[in-house]
Amino acid sequence: MRVLLLLCLIAASFAANNKILVNQFLKSFDMTHQEFYLIVKKARAASRLQSVVPEWEVSQDLPKNLNATTYPLVFMHGMGDSCFNSGMKQITKESGEHLGVYSVCIPTGNNDITDTMNGFFMTMDNNVDEWAKRIRKDIHLKNGFHAVGFSQGNSVVRGYIQKYNDPPVKTFLSVHGTLNGVAGFPNCDPDGLLGPVCKILAQVCGEMAYVQSIQNTLFQADYFRDPKRYTDDAYLEHSEIAQWNNENPKNVNTTFKDNMVSLTKFAMIKALKDTMIFPNEGEWWGQFEANSLKTIQKMEETDNYKTDRFGLKTLHDANKMIFNTTDGNHLQFTEQELFWWLDNYITE
């Protein structure tokens, strides 16, 4: 909660274009920019962010699958995590060894600090653009690849597919992903035990989220979808996820749909007890009904699906979508589960 409040304060200061104010806010929390990173890193080590892939006890008896694919694997990490983190290094290495293919985690920063901080203070669009640059520089990926995203990393993968997809993604495996954004901030359910505090946070950040300068500053604001503001001009005109969803009829990008429907397979894993993605139905492209934080719409009930704004219905009708679940909380899954998804969902 402390980190989230700090994010809102920093974002507000950027809205005023006042870097001195940013430093004042940091100082009010007795922090420097480096100390902010260390707080995130400490929370990551303690798994308090619930968006970090943990290290595993390596299973020695899991069978190798050397015939599933010839295409490489590309991973994208979640909020607070980094390709330079030991958990991501391990999962990338072991997945590649299991399938017998080249496997890589593509960062958007050059080290643990910048890669982690870009998950907060680089926009969703800019993260996608940087990811695309690095994808294209890797000669092993020139003919295409399978993409695996964790949590917020799925927003980057999704954006890459819609905006670029060159080289193309074959199979997209989304694990507990922010695919359809969030209506509340991480681990802060407005109807949960911290409801009064979370509602204030959602209201304050929600009011600021669709200011252009906020959209140009804070990753999390870029995929924030307030059910009370689906039709607001500010949301439709400034929100990055609204642009990706083609929700603004004045600004429709047909390439987003063309690229999305080119996927060979799209597998989505939802955490049944997720306290990070709110609502967790968003991991399957669902959402809250307009003007509600209680009534859930399944993917097929949403306007985005019904009007096929960016290809969800086309993918679904073509039987390219797969839906699966895990029983626990956010990013709680086993090595065996991941390898089963890779073996059964990765196709040429």
Catalytic hit among 115, 125, 189, 274 = 274
Q: For 262-273, b where at least 16 C-beta lie within 10 A, e where not — what string?
A: ebbbbbbbbbee
CB 340 within 8 Å of CB 267: no
* CA–CA separation, 277 and 189 (whole Å): 9
- Placement of tokens 């940091």 in the chain: 26
* CA–CA separation, 321 and 296 (whole Å): 20
59 is catalytic: no
Catalytic hit among 103, 151, 155, 239 = 151
* CA–CA separation, 302 and 285 (whole Å): 9
CB 318 within 8 Å of CB 144: no
Name the CA radius of gyration of the chain, rounded: 19
Ramachandran angles phi, psi of 150, nearest 5°: -120, 125
151 is catalytic: yes
- What is the DSSP code string of 47-103? TTTS-SPPP-PPPSSPPP--SS-SS-EEEE--TT--TTSHHHHHHHHHHHHHHTS-E
Element (H, E) at 328: none
Comparing C-alpha atoms, which of 74, 283, 31 is closest to residue 171?
74
Catalytic hit among 77, 98, 176, 330 = 330
330 is catalytic: yes
Please identify every residue annotated as catalytic: 151, 274, 330
